[in-house]
Structures are given as structure tokens and as C-alpha cells.
């Protein structure tokens, strides 16, 4: 029956659009083999974390893939966000857990905290891609997801012509914390789909680190050039 259905309604890869084999689900073997995986697994000493070293609560920061225009990572994120292939979010989270758990990135995490959308954006899109990824990751790692810790109160304006410092200033006061009782001393991991300038994650980190004795790590499914070690 599955083969007959696939004949008339062929399932296509979310990465390249080619027809999936019967045993394949969502992403073809070729795209999985060609995921642009982050090769630097020093999560406590990479370019991103050194850039934000003044955040006293920051423990680790990492990503599964490298994001570049039109690469496989970018295509999968586009399929999730704009083609609304909801099961892809769980697949992305589960894949990250399988490939990165041995690297220690998720060690000691008490809760996963997906970065929220504003109510207006959530209503327009109908779902939060960071939450879908976090749920897949949490199910694979057996770590609870907390979507009630952060609340997004503003969208950021376009940052195309901003300097790095202007981007950080533009990203301030985007998030506030909610329902943080009992989180003192816990280790939270902030989750998002992709990090480019990092300003959105920076704002979320700034908001959550006000929780007393909190420990924070950050994970995005993809990032742009975040893993290189800084010199010196």
C-alpha cells in the first residue's frame, strides 16, 4: 500500500526536492551525507563563546551545521519555516541529539528553552520552529522542554546596515523572562533554528541570565561560521 501511494503521491526530500526512496523519511540519504556539519566541537572555547565571554552564566555554545546560502542546512531550515513541513522540526532535533550527544554539548542540561516568537508572528506563521526542534531534541535526550521561561515582546528592526555593536543594541529588550521560580541554579539550554549575527540569541541570553545562579548554554541547528577557534 505504501509503495502504491508513493507512486501517485511521491514524497520529496526536504533538502533537495528529489524523490525519496521507500525507506527514506523527510531527508534523502544524499542530503544526510552532505549535511555541512560543524567540525569544531570545542563548545566552551569557540569564536562565538569568546565573543560573548562577558556573559557570566554562559557555559557552552554550539550548532549542528554550518549555514550558507543554498546549502543543505539552509534548504532544510527553509522547508521547515516556509514550506511548513512540521515533522522536519522533530527530525532536526533528533538528528542533532544523535550526532552531538557524544560531544558533550548537552551534558548536564536540566531544561531546553526554545526562543519564542511574538504573538503576532506566531499567529501569522502558525508554529514556532524553535519549539519543534526543541521537542525533537528533548524527546531524544529525555530532557524537558520549557516554553514558558521566555516571552518575546518585540520584533527587531532590519539590521542590514548595522555595525556589530548596533546590532547588539537593536536586539536588547526583545525578550523578558516569565515563570522562573525554581530555576535558580539550573542549567538551561536556549534553542533556535539558525544563528547569523547572533543578536537574537544575545538578547535572550541577556534576559535569562538575570535568574540567580543560573547556568546557560545555547544551541542552534545551524550557524554562520560560529565554530572557529579564536586566536590568542
Domain boundaries, the chain: 11-223
Q: Which three cell numbers stand for residue 178?
A: 516569565
Q: Which of 60-64, 102-106, 206-210 has the lowest mean pLDDT?
A: 206-210
pLDDT value of residue 163: 57
Q: Is residue 167 scored above 80 in pLDDT?
A: no
Domain 11-223: give its CATH code: 3.40.50
| 65-87 b/e (C-beta count within 10 Å ≥ 16 → b) | bbbeeebbbbbbbebbbeeebee
Distance between CA atoms of 173 and 204, rounded to whole angstroms? 9
pLDDT value of residue 160: 47
Residue ranges of alpha helices (H) inside 55-198 are 72-81, 87-100, 119-125, 129-141, 164-171
Structure-derived torsion over alpha carbons of residues 102, 106, 109, 115, reported in degrees to the nearest 10:
-160
Distance between CA atoms of 222 and 46, rounded to whole angstroms? 15
Distance between CA atoms of 46 and 133, rounded to whole angstroms? 23
- Cell 572557529 identifies what position? 228
pTM to 2 decimal places = 0.89
Q: Is residue 1 scored above 50 in pLDDT?
A: no
Q: If phi over 0 gives left and psi between -120 and 50 gives alpha, with beta otherwise, what is residue 11?
A: beta
Determine which helix (DSSP H) or strand (DSSP E) holds 207, and give its type and residue range: helix 199-208
More confident residue, 155 or 40: 40
Burial class (CB in 10 A: 0-12, 13-18, 19+), 193: buried
Average pLDDT, the chain: 88
Write the pLDDT tens digit of every residue in 106-153: 999 999 999 999 999 888 889 999 999 999 999 999 999 999 999 998
Distance between CA atoms of 186 and 166, rounded to whole angstroms? 31
Q: Which of 172, 201, 198 is nearest to 188 (CA)?
A: 201
- What average pLDDT does this structure show over 40-51? 89
Contacts of residue 180, defined as CB under 8 A and 6 or more positions apart, other chains included, come to 149, 211
pLDDT value of residue 83: 93
Amino acid at each position: 500500500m505504501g509503495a502504491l501511494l508513493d507512486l501517485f503521491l511521491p514524497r520529496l526530500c526536504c533538502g533537495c526536492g528529489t524523490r525519496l526512496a521507500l525507506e527514506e523519511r523527510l531527508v534523502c540519504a544524499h542530503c544526510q551525507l552532505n549535511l555541512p556539519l560543524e567540525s569544531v566541537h570545542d563548545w566552551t572555547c569557540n569564536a562565538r563563546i569568546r565573543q560573548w565571554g562577558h556573559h557570566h552564566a554562559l557555559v557552552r555554545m554550539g550548532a549542528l551545521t554550518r549555514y550558507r546560502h543554498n546549502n543543505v542546512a539552509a534548504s532544510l531550515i527553509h522547508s521547515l519555516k516556509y514550506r511548513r513541513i512540521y515533522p522536519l522540526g522533530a527530525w532536526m532535533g533528533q538528528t542533532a541529539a544523535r550526532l552531538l550527544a557524544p560531544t558533550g554539548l548537552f551534558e548536564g542540561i536540566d531544561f531546553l528553552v526554545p526562543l519564542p516568537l511574538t504573538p503576532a508572528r506566531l499567529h501569522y506563521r502558525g508554529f514556532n520552529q524553535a519549539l519543534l526542534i526543541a521537542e525533537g531534541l528533548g524527546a531524544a535526550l529525555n530532557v524537558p522542554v520549557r516554553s514558558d521561561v521566555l516571552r518575546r515582546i518585540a520584533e527587531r528592526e532590519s539590521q542590514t546596515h548595522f555595525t556589530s555593536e548596533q546590532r547588539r543594541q537593536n536586539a536588547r529588550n526583545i525578550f523578558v523572562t516569565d515563570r522562573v521560580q525554581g530555576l535558580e541554579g539550573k542549567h538551561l539550554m536556549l534553542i533556535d533554528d539558525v544563528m547569523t549575527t547572533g543578536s537574537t540569541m544575545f538578547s535572550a541570553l541577556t534576559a535569562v541570565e538575570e535568574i540567580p545562579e543560573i547556568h546557560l548554554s545555547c544551541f542552534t541547528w545551524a550557524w554562520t561560521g560560529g565554530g572557529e577557534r579564536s586566536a590568542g
